[in-house]
């Protein structure tokens, strides 16, 4: 029964209509793709599917090649591993303001899109996140490795369902968090909740109770469901599957309520930022300083950018703190942070100017200086975020020796340079008109973002691993020797993009697209 | 030394301008002369090529073909010098969403090498009723406020060439009055003013010359007096068909 007209979006007919609208919106986006992009998209889906099958099948046949005690360790941590995926799904949903938008907000205003459609779209777009994909592959691969090839398909089905359930639960929490954030004292409430959660985990770590808590994780049931397939307890397996399916349906339906609640609340934080007074700073002393000031303001006055950068800088550092990471592993963190930070705006750097890009390009300033401003501002943001992560990680890692210090500093500088070079290239080749006002906005369409994040993840992880190896050397020499050619390569890429940017025809295309 | 055209008072000279975006030809051959101390209106339907022409004159888009000179400077060769000579109010947005008006003015003043600009900036903001919003980010502005501030930015450096693309769009009567005053002031100090708009009556008040565009080409270059009143409306309507 409908309790009020405003709740009509939570009726069965609306659910059906929402699903239909989602199909129309997907078609709308698909029609906007060029033929080459559609081919690339189809190829990417096929590659993803093939890789997913591979991560399920291949590890199952590797088991005998490794010592059995390693398998034992894995068995013990599998439920925690599954729980980790759930935490990731929740974090991804919270940081994206409840979930990604299929159609940007300013384009969507022309269409009657219900919260049901928004919720469905956010669920379907959740996997377009390289962290989600890699974590999903990791738990599937680990499950397959632990149980081996016997009844493999039946064994991984509970894990697949857990991935769906965790994503749906992540949406429930994400929408709820977004709804709270949009409340009158939203920032205070959400920051208090985040601090309490962080403090709770820190207490568990410090009291050495984390393992006990993880041993009672509800995801033990998922592991037992997989085990039931192995041992031929098919009734137990079937019941577990039925329970997981019912929970998925419940989580999906439960997500509709906070989705509607959150989406109908005003964007208080954003409105506050737009309404508040910003005291004027003294007049800039150079053209570059003037350009940088505007770019920095565009970053730090954007709710999604500010929040995203803070989360990216803090979370890996917090994980390193909790996990007591050694310096050789800390070299992997700058790549993770730099890639994530670049995905907030760097992959479409001129979107910082929004519709002001046209005016800004009409100012009498050399194109090279405008380009340098974007390079500097992106580089400093990535380095700052990576630096904060390293400082947090260093709290428990102790003092590094010279090789470790050179490795971690080299990793931070090199991956930042690599990411800046890649991002500026993409920004000039493939600009998009986006408004980064909303926490749900992304600097490029979700599918494109998935491609960018995958490419950045591969490059920065490989670089991080190389620097990790140099940290084992007796001195800083190998790290320095590794950094020099990599920095030169990034410098050459940046110079190549600068040459493209200096051409009026290319520059005007970027500006016209971004400002449209 | 200026070109012969500059000596005749011509500050903008466009001959055979063509602009192509891939397969689309946005401008298909426009000739235009604009003089110092006079206003020139660019009129025409949507897609006639008005905004593209303005962008070329502002040095933002390179011409595909043709000779375009602003104060004798070839736009294709020296776009930076053209940007120094002109003030441009774009047709869309035109403002960096998370910067304040004062920060826009600071950047403009710095890049245009303006000294002691603060009083003039304050005066313009007050004339356009934007003084109270000087330190709020422009992302929260209404459409009309954004248009008014874009005009302020274009006129701020007292440029010799003032390019206003749809300056009256969505602007209230007081904003229209302030914009008309800015145009009058610019003409009085010898600037060439180009106004692109759909609002014929306002354009006729602001400008002495009119260029009517259709389908990316110029179809008439006439005196604004010919497009005033009911008779002018009929003549203009006939030019659009």
Three-state SS annotation for A34-84: CHHHHHHHHHHHHHHHHHHHHHHHHHHHCHHHCCHHHHHHHHHHHHHHHHH
Tell whether the model's pLDDT for residue A476 goes beyond 50: yes
Q: How many CB atoms are located within 10 Å of the residue B233 CB?
A: 13
CB spacing of A508 vs B60 below 8 angstroms: yes
Among A278, A291, A508, the residue with its CB nearest the CB of B135 is A278
Structure tokens at A96: 């994206």
CB spacing of A362 vs B93 below 8 angstroms: no
Mean pLDDT of A254-281: 87
Q: For residues B168 and B55, what is the distance between their CA atoms, to the nearest angstrom?
A: 18
CB spacing of A362 vs B96 below 8 angstroms: no
Residue A126: which residues within 8 A CB-CB, separation 6 or more? A89, A92, A93, A99, A100, A132, A167, A170, A171
List C-alpha distances in Å: A15 to A20, A112, A253, A300, A395. Answer: 9, 14, 9, 38, 50
CB spacing of A298 vs B98 below 8 angstroms: yes
Residues 187-226 of B with CB under 8 A from A: none
Q: For residues A14 and A117, what is the distance between their CA atoms, to the nearest angstrom?
A: 9
Residue A310 is predicted with a pLDDT of 84
Tell whether the model's pLDDT for residue A65 goes beyond 70: no
Q: For residues B211 and B40, what is the distance between their CA atoms, to the nearest angstrom?
A: 7
Residue A67 is predicted with a pLDDT of 61
Interface of A with B (CB under 8 A): 271, 273-280, 283-284, 286-287, 290-291, 293-294, 297-298, 301-302, 352-356, 358-366, 435, 437, 504-505, 508-509, 511-512, 515-516
Which chain B residue has its CA at the smallest distance from A503's CA? B62
Which tens digits make up the pLDDT trace of B191-212? 999 999 988 889 999 999 999 9
Q: For residues B193 and B12, what is the distance between their CA atoms, to the nearest angstrom?
A: 10
Structure tokens at B233: 């409306």
pLDDT band at A347 (very low <50, low <70, confident <90, very high): very high
pLDDT band at A9 (very low <50, low <70, confident <90, very high): low
Which tens digits make up the pLDDT trace of B71-122? 999 999 999 999 999 999 998 778 999 999 999 999 999 999 999 999 999 9
Q: Tokens 């009509």 sit at which residue?
A: A8
Residue A64 is predicted with a pLDDT of 62
Structure tokens at A286: 């150079």
pLDDT band at A72 (very low <50, low <70, confident <90, very high): low
Q: For residues A13 and A512, what is the distance between their CA atoms, to the nearest angstrom?
A: 42
pLDDT band at A415 (very low <50, low <70, confident <90, very high): very high
Residue A4: which residues within 8 A CB-CB, separation 6 or more? none
pLDDT band at B4 (very low <50, low <70, confident <90, very high): very low
Q: Is A408 helix (H, G, I), strand (E, B) or coil?
A: helix
Strand order in the sheet with B161-165: B86-89, B161-165, B192-196, B39-44, B209-214, B217-223
Mean pLDDT of chain A: 88
Q: Which of A165, A142, A168, A144 is nearest to A80 (CA)?
A: A142
* Burial status of residue B225 (CB atoms within 10 A of its CB: 0-12, 13-18, 19 or more): exposed
Residue B18: which residues within 8 A CB-CB, separation 6 or more? B25, B27, B28, B29, B63, B64, B65, B66
What is the Cβ-side half-sphere exposure of residue A439, based on CA atoms within 13 angstroms? 29
Considering the entire predicted model, what is its pTM?
A: 0.84
- The verdict on B143 touching A (C-beta cutoff 8 Å) is no
Residue B9 is predicted with a pLDDT of 85
Residue B15 is predicted with a pLDDT of 94
Tell whether the model's pLDDT for residue A473 goes beyond 70: yes
| Low-confidence winner among A3-7, A14-18, A461-465 (lowest mean pLDDT) | A3-7
Kindly state the percentage of chain A with pLDDT values over 90.
51
Structure tokens at B62: 């390179």
Residue A255 is predicted with a pLDDT of 94
* 8 Å CB contact between A176 and A182: no
**Sign of the Cα pseudo-torsion (B102, B104, B105, B111, in order):** positive
List C-alpha distances in Å: B144 to A235, A374, B121, B127, B181. Answer: 68, 30, 19, 14, 17
Q: Which of B182, B5, B158, B178 is nearest to B85 (CA)?
A: B158
Residue A6 is predicted with a pLDDT of 55
* 8 Å CB contact between A241 and A157: yes
Q: For residues A352 and B96, what is the distance between their CA atoms, to the nearest angstrom?
A: 8
Torsion of CA B197, B200, B206, B208, to 10 degrees: 110
- Greatest extent of chain B over all pairs of C-alpha atoms, in Å: 50
Which tens digits make up the pLDDT trace of A193-235? 988 988 888 888 778 787 888 888 899 999 999 999 988 999 9
DSSP code at position A279 = P
Which tens digits make up the pLDDT trace of A367-386? 999 999 999 999 999 999 99
CB spacing of B107 vs A284 below 8 angstroms: yes
Residues 59-98 of B with CB under 8 A from A: 59-62, 76, 79-81, 83-84, 86, 88, 90, 92-98
Residue A207 is predicted with a pLDDT of 81
Structure tokens at A213: 């808590």
Higher pLDDT, A396 or A370: A370
Q: Which of B62, B72, B66 is nearest to B34 (CA)?
A: B72
Kindly state the percentage of chain A with pLDDT values over 70.
96
CB spacing of B93 vs A435 below 8 angstroms: no
Q: Which of A303, A278, A304, A299 is nearest to A351 (CA)?
A: A299
Q: How many CB atoms are located within 10 Å of the residue B199 CB?
A: 18
Alpha helices in A207-276 (DSSP H): 210-215, 220-231, 234-263, 268-275
pLDDT band at A42 (very low <50, low <70, confident <90, very high): confident
CB spacing of A435 vs B135 below 8 angstroms: no
Which tens digits make up the pLDDT trace of B142-199? 999 999 999 999 999 999 999 999 999 989 999 999 999 999 999 999 999 999 998 8
SS3 annotation, chain B: CCCHHHHCCEEEEEEEEEEEECCEEEEEEEEEEEECCCEEEEEECCCCCHHHHHHHHCCCCCCCEEEEEECCEECCCCHHHHHHHEEEECCCCCCCCCCCHHHHHHHHHHHCCCCCCHHHHHHHHHHCCCHHHCCCCHHHCCHHHHHHHHHHHHHHCCCCEEEEECCCCCCCHHHHHHHHHHHHHHHHCCCEEEEECCCHHHHHHHCCEEEEEECCEEEEEEEHHHHCHHHHHHHHHHHHC
pLDDT band at A462 (very low <50, low <70, confident <90, very high): very high
Among B80, B90, B140, the residue with its CB nearest the CB of A366 is B80
CB spacing of B111 vs A297 below 8 angstroms: no
Residue A336: which residues within 8 A CB-CB, separation 6 or more? A316, A460, A461, A464
Which chain A residue has its CA at the smallest distance from B102's CA? A280
Mean pLDDT of A425-445: 87
* 8 Å CB contact between B56 and B79: no
Mean pLDDT of A446-473: 91
Q: For residues A139 and A56, what is the distance between their CA atoms, to the nearest angstrom?
A: 9
DSSP code at position A97 = T
Q: Is A353 helix (H, G, I), strand (E, B) or coil?
A: coil
The values of phi and psi at residue B89, to 5°, are -110, 105
Residue B233: which residues within 8 A CB-CB, separation 6 or more? B200, B227
Rounded to the nearest angstrom, the minimum Cα separation between B202 and chain A is 24
Residue A281: which residues within 8 A CB-CB, separation 6 or more? A293
For every residue of A415-430, DSSP letters joined together read HHHHHHHHHHHHHHHS
Mean pLDDT of A135-152: 90
């Amino acid at each position: 029964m409908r309790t009020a007209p405003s709740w009509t979006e939570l009726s069965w007919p609306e659910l059906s209509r929402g699903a239909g609208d989602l199909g129309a919106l997907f078609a709308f986006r698909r029609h906007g793709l060029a033929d080459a992009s559609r081919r690339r998209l189809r190829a990417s889906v096929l590659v993803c599917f093939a890789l997913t099958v591979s991560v399920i099948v291949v590890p199952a046949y590797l088991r005998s090649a490794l010592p059995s005690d390693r398998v034992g360790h894995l068995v013990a941590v599998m439920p925690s591993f599954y729980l980790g995926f759930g935490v990731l799904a929740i974090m991804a949903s919270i940081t994206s303001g409840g979930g990604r938008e299929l159609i940007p907000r300013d384009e969507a205003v022309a269409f009657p899109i219900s919260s049901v459609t928004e919720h469905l779209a956010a669920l379907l777009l959740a996997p377009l996140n390289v962290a989600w994909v890699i974590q999903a592959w990791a738990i599937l691969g680990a499950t397959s490795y632990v149980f081996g090839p016997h009844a493999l398909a039946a064994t991984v089905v509970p894990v697949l369902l857990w991935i769906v359930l965790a994503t749906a639960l992540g949406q429930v929490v994400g929408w709820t968090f977004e709804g709270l954030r949009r409340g009158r004292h939203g920032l205070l409430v959400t920051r208090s909740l985040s601090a309490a959660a962080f403090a709770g985990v820190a207490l568990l770590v410090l009291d050495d109770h984390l393992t006990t808590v993880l041993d009672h994780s509800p995801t033990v049931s998922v592991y037992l469901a997989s085990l039931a397939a192995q041992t031929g307890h098919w009734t137990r397996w079937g019941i577990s599957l039925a329970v997981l399916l019912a929970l998925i349906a419940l989580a999906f339906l439960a997500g509709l309520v906070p989705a509607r609640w959150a989406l109908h609340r005003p964007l208080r934080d954003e409105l506050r930022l737009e309404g508040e007074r910003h005291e004027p700073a003294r007049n800039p002393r150079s053209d570059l300083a003037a350009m940088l000031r505007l770019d920095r303001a565009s970053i730090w006055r954007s709710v999604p950018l500010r929040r995203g950068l803070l989360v990216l800088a803090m979370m890996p550092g917090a994980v390193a703190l909790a996990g007591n990471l050694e310096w050789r592993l800390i070299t992997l963190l700058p790549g993770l942070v730099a890639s994530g930070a670049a995905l907030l705006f760097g992959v479409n750097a001129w979107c910082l100017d929004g519709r002001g890009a046209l005016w800004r390009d009409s100012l009498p300033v050399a194109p090279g200086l405008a380009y340098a401003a974007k390079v500097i501002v992106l580089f400093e943001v990535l380095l700052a975020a990576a630096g904060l992560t390293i400082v947090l990680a260093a709290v428990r890692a102790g003092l590094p020796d010279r090789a470790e210090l050179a490795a971690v500093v080299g990793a931070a500088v090199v991956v930042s340079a690599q990411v800046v070079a890649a991002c500026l290239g993409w920004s000039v080749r493939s600009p998009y008109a986006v408004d980064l006002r909303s926490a749900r906005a992304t600097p490029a369409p979700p599918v494109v973002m998935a491609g960018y994040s995958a490419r950045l993840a591969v490059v920065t992880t490989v670089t991080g691993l190389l620097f990790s190896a140099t940290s084992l050397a007796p001195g800083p020499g190998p790290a320095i020797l590794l950094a020099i050619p990599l920095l030169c390569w990034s410098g050459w890429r940046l110079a190549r993009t600068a040459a493209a940017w200096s051409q009026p025809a290319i520059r005007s295309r970027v500006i016209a697209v971004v400002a449209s | 030394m200026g070109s012969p055209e500059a000596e005749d008072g011509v500050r903008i000279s466009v001959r055979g301008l063509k602009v192509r975006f891939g397969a689309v030809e946005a401008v298909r051959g426009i000739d235009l002369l604009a003089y110092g101390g006079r206003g020139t209106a660019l009129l025409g339907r949507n897609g006639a090529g008005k905004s593209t022409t303005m962008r070329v004159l502002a040095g933002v888009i390179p011409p595909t073909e043709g000779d375009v000179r602003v104060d004798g400077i070839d736009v294709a060769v020296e776009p930076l010098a053209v940007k120094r000579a002109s003030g441009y109010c774009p047709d869309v947005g035109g403002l960096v969403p998370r910067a304040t008006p004062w920060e826009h003015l600071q950047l403009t003043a710095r890049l245009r090498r303006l000294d002691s600009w603060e009083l003039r900036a304050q005066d313009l903001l007050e004339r356009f009723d934007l003084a109270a919003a000087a330190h709020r980010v422009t992302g929260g502005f209404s459409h009309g406020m954004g248009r008014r501030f874009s005009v302020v930015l274009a006129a701020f450096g007292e440029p010799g060439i003032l390019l206003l693309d749809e300056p009256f769009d969505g602007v209230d009567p007081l904003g229209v009055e302030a914009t008309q005053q800015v145009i009058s002031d610019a003409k009085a100090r010898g600037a060439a003013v180009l106004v692109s708009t759909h609002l014929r009556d306002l354009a006729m008040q602001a400008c002495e010359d009119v260029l009517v565009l259709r389908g990316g080409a110029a179809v008439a270059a006439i005196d604004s007096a010919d497009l005033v009143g009911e008779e002018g409306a009929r003549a203009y309507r006939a030019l659009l068909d």
